[in-house]
Each structure stands twice: as structure tokens, then as C-alpha cells.
Structure 1
Amino acid sequence: MSERFFIEYPPKAAEVTFDEAESQHLAKVMRANLGDVVVGFDGKGTEYQIELTTIGKKKVVGTVRSQAEVSREASRRLTLAVALPKGDRQRWLVEKCVELGVTRLVPLLTKRGVAQPVEKAIERLRRAVVEASKQCERNHLMVVEQGQSLEEVFASRPAASYLLHPSGEAIHHDAIVPAKEVLAIIGPEGGFTDEEVAEAAEHGCQIVSLGPRILRVETAALAIATLVTALPGP
């Protein structure tokens, strides 16, 4: 079987029990058979070769035959603080951030934000992280934080911190290359207020632009993610 399966709780012994959702996928969708060997991952970097020993409609059990630390992470840690777009665009954003190797996604609370990161929305996005990680063979789950204000984001920002805004100067690759951690802050569809931009500058964030065109939230997020993760490592 080529598909991968998430193990929410890393096995402490040789036996692994898949949760109900993964068990149903194995039994009903993949029509797994006893003796099949599947790939499991725990979201913390370990990949497992698992031989299936029990197959039920809601419970599939297997035995770990081998395991290894397998990292497919980007060369630097990237946090995106993003004012979430509306509707299905949120899930699309998360899927692509996972594929590009973003480390953390922080739903950003701004004055002009339109989509509020309520608990149900955060849980949906975290489930989307798992599904995207299964597809792209990433073994570390991207973290989706609870919603944070700009002040909370500034409080823990790394040295390489950027707020994306049309008024900023073009971002320079040379400034990113030596950084091990990068923070990129992206505003809502209505943009940041002048006060928010000024506050970011006061906290040491560089105000940068991705070009002369106005980008959608998810476009800007993926553009900066592609730039940061594609550069050679520090």
C-alpha cells in the first residue's frame, strides 16, 4: 500500500492501534488485508513500517516491524502569522503551507480581519494538516496555533521578521539566507491599518513588499513560503 497513516500516539511497544478514522480508511477504503505492511507516522518525525494483524471496521491493529527518524523539513523554520481568508480558502492555504514546509501557522487577529479563528475552525485546520502531511510524506506536523494578536506575535518574534505590505521595500534574499528562523506576517483582505504597520516597525519588523500587485492573503502566504523554504539553508 502506498498511502500513509497517521498515528496520533507514538507506540510505546511493538503493537499499534490506529484511531477510528484511520482504521475505517484502512478497512473500508483501502480494503487492507492481514499481513499488509503500511507506513505510519507520528507527526514528530518518526516513520514506521507496520504489519497489519487485526482488521475491524472501526479498529485496525498492527505490529511495528521497523522504524526510523525521517525528516523532510525545510532548511529553516518559518512561522506564518496570517489573517485567515474566508471559507474553503483556509483549508487550501493550510494544505499548501504543509507541502512547502512551513513550521507554524498563527491565525492573526487584526482590525480588518474578516474570518475569526474560532475553536472549531482551528480544529478543522489541524485535521487538514494531518491529511496534507499524509499526502506529501511530511513526518513533522505543521503547528496551527490559537488566534493571536499582533502584540502576541511581536512578543516572540525572531530576528528575521517581516510584515508584508505594499508600502514596503522589496524583500532581499541575502537577508533571509543566514536566518535559521523566519517570521512573515500577512494581513487581511482589507490590508493592515497604518497604525498596525507602524507598530510592526516599532517592534523591529521589516516592512517588505512582494511586488507591485495586490495579492490575496493565501497568494502572499505561499509566495513568501516558497521564497523562504527554497533558499539554501543557513
Structure 2
Amino acid sequence: MNLILLDDTDFLDAHHARISDTRRIRHLREIHGATIGDPLIVGQRNGYIGQARLSRLADDHAIVEIEQLDQPPPPSLDIELILALPRPRMLARTLEHVTAMGVKGITLLHTRRVEKSYWQSPELTPDKVRQHLTLGLEQARDTRYPDVIMEPRFKPFVEDRLPARLEERHGLLAHPGMPEACPHGAASPTTLIIGPEGGFIDYEVDKLLDAGCQGIHMGPRILRVETAVIALLARLA
């Protein structure tokens, strides 16, 4: 936790906030080793970052005195991510990693090789998704939460919604065997589309290309989804 992220409901007034959840209290005690008077880096959800001091640390809550909130969060990537829904454990890690990298738009998509049971995972509940996004923001000292959209039906999304999203964005379909290598740096607002373990089936590739995507590859190696996501974002950033 490189940043203590404060929700609006944490604020007692303009200069004091109360932290009462077990995770943040444990982190202050066990990781920070915080004591009364210690300086802390804090940020307001979807707002500014600044300095605070720990004024109380009890078993069930902490009080921080906010000295200033005047620094903007780091700039976000102008890259939207459309990702075939990974298996639950991989989803949790991926949400944290892409949030830390500055992605602000994430669409989770059903494809042929996505197990239908994945959509019933507890990792997709709003509370769990927000927890993973929060961990990514805290790691990167960011405050702006990504928007996460669920698309459990492939064809209606690709035919009815994706073309409109690509009117002002460059769509990149990352898939083995595509003719062009991933560019170094995104020259314009970009939508990056990545398939599941095993890749998209031919029908899905054709539909995505017809919707206006450009096919790209990352070389001859076949990467795990969570590795491919980070490698592609790093190359495009």
C-alpha cells in the first residue's frame, strides 16, 4: 500500500478521516509499522493526493489528520482494454496490474473458450472487483477508479457496440499469427483486445477484424494472458 485511499464516507470533516476496515488497519500496523504522528500519503477516491499524519491508532480504527490534498493523480493511459474473461485467480491479478498501469476502461468479454462457470465467480461481484481495483490504485498511488463493463455475449457486443467505440479509437486485436507486430507506443487513443487462454476462434477473429480492428502479434512466443496483457500495455504506453 503506497497510498492510503480514502472514500468520501471516511471523512469526518475536511481535515480528518476515520479508517475502520480490517485490511487498512492491519496494513498500518504490520506493514507500515505506523505510530502516532507518522506522515502518510493519502488520496481521496477519484480526487487529489496529499499528506496526512496518523493521530490515533486503535484496535478497530485509525484517525488521520489531513494536512493537504493538492496533488493530481498520475496521468492515465489512453488505452481501453477489452479482455476475454480470464479464470478467477488470473482475473484478480490482472485487474490489479492493469489498474496500477493506469488503464481506466476495462471490458470483460465472453468468448467460445471462456468457461461459462467463470461468470458465476465471486471475483465478479462488485465488492470483489472494487477490492482488486483498490489494490491496484494503492500500489500506483492513483485515485481514479477504472470503469469495468461486463459483456457476457460476444456477438451482440462485437456487432452492435464495438464499431461505435472504434469510431474515435484505434482498435488493436492481439492474436497469434496476425500479420503485423505490436507497435511501440500508441499514436492515438487505443482499444486493445486480448483473447482467452487458447486464443480466439477463427469466427471471433473475423468478427473483430470486420468491426474495424487491426490484427497484431507479440512475436512467436505464446504467452499467458496475464503476461501478454502487461507486455502489450507496456509496449503501447
TM-score range, shorter chain: 0.7 to 0.9
- Pair 1:190–1:36, CA change in 2 (3 A): same
Equivalent-residue separation in structure 2 for 1:131 and 1:208 (angstroms): 30
Equivalent-residue separation in structure 2 for 1:163 and 1:149 (angstroms): 18
Aligned letter for 2:79? Answer: L
The aligned residue for residue 54 of structure 1 is: 56
Is 1:185 matched with 2:187?
no
Match of 1:132 among 129, 136, 149: 136
Equivalent-residue separation in structure 2 for 1:166 and 1:28 (angstroms): 44
CA contact (8 A) 1:34 1:53 kept: yes
The aligned residue for residue 44 of structure 1 is: 46
CA contact (8 A) 1:36 1:51 kept: yes
The alpha-carbon deviation at position 13 of structure 1 amounts to: 1.8
The aligned residue for residue 73 of structure 2 is: 71
TM-score for the superposition, normalised by structure 1: 0.81
The alpha-carbon deviation at position 147 of structure 1 amounts to: 4.2
- Pair 1:20–1:167, CA change in 2 (3 A): same
Range with greater deviation from structure 2 (20-29 or 35-44) = 20-29
SS state at 2:175 partner: strand
The alpha-carbon deviation at position 73 of structure 1 amounts to: 2.4
Q: What is the CA deviation profile of residues 149-206 of structure 1, one whole-angstrom value per residue up to 9, with x for unaligned ones?
A: 44436153442011122232214638931x1x21111111132122211211221111
Aligned letter for 1:220? Answer: A
Range with greater deviation from structure 2 (123-132 or 161-170) = 123-132
The aligned residue for residue 7 of structure 1 is: 6
Q: What is the CA deviation profile of residues 58-84 of structure 1, one whole-angstrom value per residue up to 9, with x for unaligned ones?
A: 22122211111333224x411111123
Aligned letter for 2:130? Answer: R
Equivalent-residue separation in structure 2 for 1:55 and 1:81 (angstroms): 42
Equivalent-residue separation in structure 1 for 2:174 and 2:184 (angstroms): 17
SS state at 2:178 partner: strand
- Pair 1:56–1:101, CA change in 2 (3 A): same
Is 1:156 matched with 2:165?
yes
TM-score for the superposition, normalised by structure 2: 0.80
Query: After superposition, where does 1:215-234 map in structure 2 within 5 Å?
Result: 215-229=223-237
- Pair 1:213–1:51, CA change in 2 (3 A): closer
CA contact (8 A) 1:117 1:147 kept: no
SS state at 2:8 partner: coil
The aligned residue for residue 180 of structure 2 is: 170
Aligned letter for 2:128? Answer: R
Match of 1:204 among 212, 215, 218: 212
- Report percent identity of matched pairs: 23
- Pair 1:118–1:43, CA change in 2 (3 A): farther
Aligned letter for 1:81? Answer: I
SS state at 2:42 partner: strand
The alpha-carbon deviation at position 35 of structure 1 amounts to: 2.4
SS state at 1:85 partner: coil
Equivalent-residue separation in structure 2 for 1:29 and 1:159 (angstroms): 41
